[in-house]
Amino acid sequence: MRTILYLLQKEFIQVFRNKAMLPIIFLMPVIQMLILVYAATMEMKSVNITVVDLDLSETTTRLTAKFEASTFFHVTRAQLSPAETDKILLKGSTDVVVTFPQGFERDLKRKDEASVQILVDAINGSAAELSNAYLQTVIGSYNQKIRAEMMGVPKFNPPQQIAAIPAYWYNPELNFKFYMAPGILVILVTVIGLFLSSLNLVREKEMGTIEQLNVTPIKKYHFIIGKMIPFLIIALLDLTFGLLVAKVVFALPFRGNILTLYVFTSVYLFLVMSIGLFVSAISDTQQQVLFVSFFFLIVFIIMSGLFTPVESMPVWAQKLDIINPLYYLIRIIRNVVLKGSGLLDMTRELISMSVYGLIMFSLAVWRYRKTV
């Protein structure tokens, strides 16, 4: 067991002596956290709308004023021909063109309905959908208002009404940062833990230093553990920094037990590093390790539920997620931090990760050969 201590001492000295890597290890995650969480937002901020009002009636002017009153919209009024409309949309200088046709107000009064034409530049899919949804809300509430005015009743309703009242638990303000911050933190901790440990091992192969160790009576699992613990500690340090940033900058609420989170993350890191060390045990160069890890990392990130909910994936893909380490921790960290889930609530995940981790660890020890 003493051997491991000497190995750990060596690894720590090497990490802290590498001046180029230190800022990357400790500063980059914090900076990325700050930038990326702010970047990853679905909250609408501003939409450029061009209103082409060919009716110029009271109804249309009032509705345009409603658009202007909304903080989401930046409204330009213009009298444009269809060709000119095309052009500004192609140029991308406006996101939406709302056209009130001539006789809009007249139709509304006489035919009981009138159409407004809305052209949305949909090359940015989700943004287009959101802009349209906001637009519809404004139009809808204006519609209710003028309906009431015209019919002379305060609010027009069907005879019986069922109201579905939403209650958003754990995040009543629907703050998207509370959702993204823990997820992004998981990615950062993963990148640090996974790549530092796996690249480190294969680098010893590349530089030839591993040979000197291989002729010693050092035990294989000692060696693998020696490659794991330093980076586990470093990754946990990064987790701590990240959580502090989340707490201080994003005001992320902590409902769960922090200690629980560290237990989960440690098991997770054990799993991820075992995978990484297995990959480096079967590789000869840092490049190979990097490519293989990157390939899986990209697939794992896309399927982890970081950006899109896992529930919306096809069933087979959801089933595949049992081998996706990121899926477990992203789910766990969100549940623990935001909802206060404990070890008991997430036993299934904990057991899965532990078993999976032990399998990968054994594979890594088995595949690490002291002979070439």
Partner 1 sequence: MNQLFGFVKKEFTHIFRDPRTMVILFGIPIIQLMLFGYVITTEIKDARIAFLDHSNDNVTREIKNKLLSSGYFRLDANLIQESEIDPIFKKGDVKQVVVFERNFAQKLEREGKADIQVIADASDPNTAQMLYNYTNAIVQDYTKKKYAGFTIPVQIKSEVRMLYNENMVGAFMYVPGTMALILMLISAMMTSITIAREKEMGTMEILLVSPLKAYQIVLGKVAPYLILSIIDACIVVFLGNTVFGVPIRGSLFVLAFLVILYITMALSLGILISAVANSQQVAMFISGFALMLPTMLLSGFIFPIKNMPEVLQILSNFMPPRWFIDAIKQVMLKGNGLEYIWPNVLILSAMTTLFLVLSIRKFKLRLE
Partner 2 sequence: MAQNTKLTDSNHCQLSIVNCQLRAPIIEVKNLVKKFGRFVADDHLTFDVYPGEIFGFLGANGAGKTTAIRMICGLLEPTSGELKVAGFDGYHEREKIKRNIGYMSQKFSLYEDLTVYENIRLYAGIYGISRKVRLEKTDELLKKLNLEDSRDKLVGGLPLGWKQKLAFSLAVFHSPKVVFLDEPSGGVDPLTRRTFWDLIYEVAHQGITIFVTTHYMDEAEYCDRVAIMSEGKIVALDTPAALKSEFQADSMDGVFLKIARNKE
Q: Which listed option, partner 1, partner 2, none, makes contact with residue 209 (CB within 5 to 8 Å by class)?
A: partner 2
Q: How far is CA 290 from CA 15, 202, 282, 329, in A?
A: 19, 10, 12, 22
* String marking each residue 215-244 x if it binds partner 2 according to CB under 8 A: xxxx--------------------------
Q: Is the dihedral of CA 13, 15, 20, 23 positive or negative?
A: negative
Q: How many positions of this chain bind partner 1 (CB under 8 A)?
A: 111
Closest approach of partner 1 to the CB of residue 312, in Å: 5
Q: Which listed option, partner 2, partner 1, none, makes contact with residue 362 (CB within 5 to 8 Å by class)?
A: none
Q: Which listed option, partner 2, partner 1, none, makes contact with residue 372 (CB within 5 to 8 Å by class)?
A: partner 2
Q: Is 209 in the site for partner 1 (CB under 8 A)?
A: no
Q: Is 47 in the site for partner 1 (CB under 8 A)?
A: yes
Q: Which listed option, partner 2, partner 1, none, makes contact with residue 291 (CB within 5 to 8 Å by class)?
A: partner 1
Tell which positions 179-218 bind partner 2, by CB under 8 A: 207-218
Q: Which listed option, partner 2, partner 1, none, makes contact with residue 339 (CB within 5 to 8 Å by class)?
A: partner 1
Options 3-11, 21-29, 130-138, 308-316: segment touching partner 2 (CB under 8 A): 3-11
Q: Which listed option, partner 2, partner 1, none, makes contact with residue 42 (CB within 5 to 8 Å by class)?
A: partner 1
Closest approach of partner 2 to the CB of residue 203, in Å: 11
Q: For residue 259, count other CB atoms closer than 10 A to its CB.
A: 9
Among residues 209, 186, 200, 343, the alpha carbon closest in space to that of 265 is found at 186
Q: Is 127 in the site for partner 1 (CB under 8 A)?
A: yes
Give the whole-angstrom CA distance, residue 11 versus residue 5. Answer: 10
118, two tokens: 């809305």
Element (H, E) at 369: none
Element (H, E) at 338: none
Report which residue type is found at 171: N
Q: Is 154 in the site for partner 1 (CB under 8 A)?
A: no
Identify whether the C-beta of residue 74 lies closer than 8 Å to the C-beta of residue 122. Answer: no
Q: Is 176 in the site for partner 1 (CB under 8 A)?
A: yes
170, two tokens: 């754990």
Q: Is 13 in the site for partner 2 (CB under 8 A)?
A: yes
Closest approach of partner 1 to the CB of residue 162, in Å: 5
Give the whole-angstrom CA distance, residue 155 versus residue 219. Answer: 79
Q: Is 170 in the site for partner 1 (CB under 8 A)?
A: yes
Give residues with Cβ within 8 angstroms of 170, minimum separation 6. 255, 338, 339
Q: Is 40 in the site for partner 1 (CB under 8 A)?
A: yes
Tell which positions 189-208 bind partner 1, by CB under 8 A: 191, 195, 199, 203, 206
- Judged by beta carbon, residue 109 or residue 358, the one nearer partner 1 is 109
- Judged by beta carbon, residue 62 or residue 369, the one nearer partner 2 is 369
- Judged by beta carbon, residue 173 or residue 212, the one nearer partner 1 is 173
Q: Is the dihedral of CA 135, 137, 138, 143 positive or negative?
A: positive
Tell which positions 290-349 bind partner 1, by CB under 8 A: 290-292, 294-295, 298-299, 302-303, 307-309, 311-314, 317, 331, 334-335, 338-342, 345-346
Closest approach of partner 2 to the CB of residue 273, in Å: 21
Among residues 315, 230, 204, 171, the alpha carbon closest in space to that of 4 is found at 230
Among 2, 83, 152, 163, binds partner 1 (CB under 8 A): 163
The distance in angstroms from the start CA to the end CA of the chain is 25
Give the whole-angstrom CA distance, residue 142 versus residue 63. Answer: 7
**220, exposed or middle or buried, with CB in 10 Å at 0-12, 13-18, 19+?**
middle
Identify whether the C-beta of residue 273 lies closer than 8 Å to the C-beta of residue 193. Answer: yes
- The helix/strand/coil state of 312 is helix
Report which residue type is found at 341: S
Q: Is 257 in the site for partner 1 (CB under 8 A)?
A: no
Residues at the interface with partner 2 (CB under 8 A): 2-3, 5-7, 9-10, 13-14, 17-18, 207-218, 370-372
